[in-house]
Each structure stands twice: as C-alpha cells, then as structure tokens.
C-alpha cells in the first residue's frame, strides 16, 4: 500500500491475468484491507500485528500473514488464526539466526522471513526454518518499474526461486 495507486495496480493485475495470485502488503487497517480485497487481492500482509485486520481477513476467507517480531507477537498472530506469520524486520535482528531462534519454541508456526532478505541470504533463511521469504526492493527494483522492464523482474524472481529450491 506504499506504492502510489496501489489499489488500481492490484485491480489491473488481478483482472489481467487470472493465473496470477495478487496480494496486498503494508495493509495497516481494515478499511484498506477491504479495498484491497474488493480490488482482487487474494492475500493480505502487514508489517505488524493488527488483530482487527487478521479477523477481517479470516471472516472473508482470505489468507493473511501479519508481521511479528517478538515471541509474544508470533504467538498472538498464530492464536488469532493467521495462516502464516511474517517475521519482520528479520535481517536487522539477526537474520537467519533469529528465524532459527523463533522457530525453536514455535515449530508448528509457518514463518516467513521478510525485511532484509536478498539473493545472498535467501538460502540461509530457508535453512534456518522459514517456509518462505518476503522480498521487496531486491526483487522489484524501482528502475525496472520505471522502465517497465518485466524481464528484469522475471529474472530476479527466477534467481530467488532457484535459491529457495536449492535450500
């Protein structure tokens, strides 16, 4: 939701390719969550834990993975019914070592590592116990968007996927 015109982008992507799973990130409140789902988003994520957004997503039968950083937040997100828990920001707090530490008391919680994940550390996050990674600027470079270079984004996606598969 930090991208100008995010709702319109979600709508265009969702309408243009039915095979594409379009989601919405940085969803900070229920009203934005509603707008995202109405535009065609199939999942919601946020940088922090907002239990109202989680509850709204669950009532709309939508995949939701809020951000959490402390053990208390991870536990609260999971108990609230989140499908996954996004550990954010992960890299500044120890990166893969933090994922490993959080995974130990919560082996049943599917963790997504986000915040500082790049091509060089992707495998480490997966090996530490993350079931997925969240990647922002390192995947979708602002210059690639400005130049509308889809192949650039596809190539970076391919490289990230390869790192995950190798791990």
- pLDDT single digits (tens) 70-81: 999 999 999 999
Which tens digits make up the pLDDT trace of 97-148? 999 999 999 999 999 999 999 989 999 999 999 999 998 777 666 776 677 7
Which tens digits make up the pLDDT trace of 26-61? 999 999 999 999 999 999 999 999 999 999 999 999
Residue 87 has pLDDT above 90, yes or no: yes
Domains in the chain and their CATH numbers? 6-166 (3.20.20.70)
What span, in angstroms and rounded, lies between the C-alpha atoms of 110 and 4? 31
What span, in angstroms and rounded, lies between the C-alpha atoms of 94 and 152? 30
- Identify the sign of the CA torsion 59, 63, 68, 70: positive
Structure-token pair, residue 107: 């082996």
Are the beta carbons of 114 and 95 closer than 8 angstroms?
no
Structure-token pair, residue 119: 């091509």
Structure-token pair, residue 100: 């490993």
Q: What is the 3-state secondary structure (H, E, C) of 139-161?
A: CCCHHHHHCCCHHHHHHHHHHHH
């Amino acid at each position: 939701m930090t991208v100008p015109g995010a709702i319109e982008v979600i709508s265009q992507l969702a309408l243009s390719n039915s095979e594409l799973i379009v989601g919405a990130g940085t969803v900070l409140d229920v009203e934005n969550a509603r707008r995202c789902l109405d535009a065609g988003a199939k999942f919601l994520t946020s940088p922090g834990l907002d239990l109202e957004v989680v509850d709204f997503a669950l009532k709309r039968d939508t995949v939701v993975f809020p951000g959490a950083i402390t053990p208390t937040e991870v536990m609260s997100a999971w108990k609230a019914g989140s499908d996954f828990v996004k550990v954010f920001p992960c890299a500044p707090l120890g990166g893969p070592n933090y994922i490993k530490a959080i995974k130990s008391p919560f082996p049943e919680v599917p963790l997504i590592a986000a915040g500082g994940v790049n091509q060089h550390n992707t495998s480490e996050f997966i090996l530490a116990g993350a079931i997925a990674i969240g990647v922002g600027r390192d995947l979708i470079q602002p210059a690639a968007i400005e130049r509308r270079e889809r192949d650039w984004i596809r190539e970076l996606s391919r490289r990230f996927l390869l790192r995950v598969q190798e791990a």
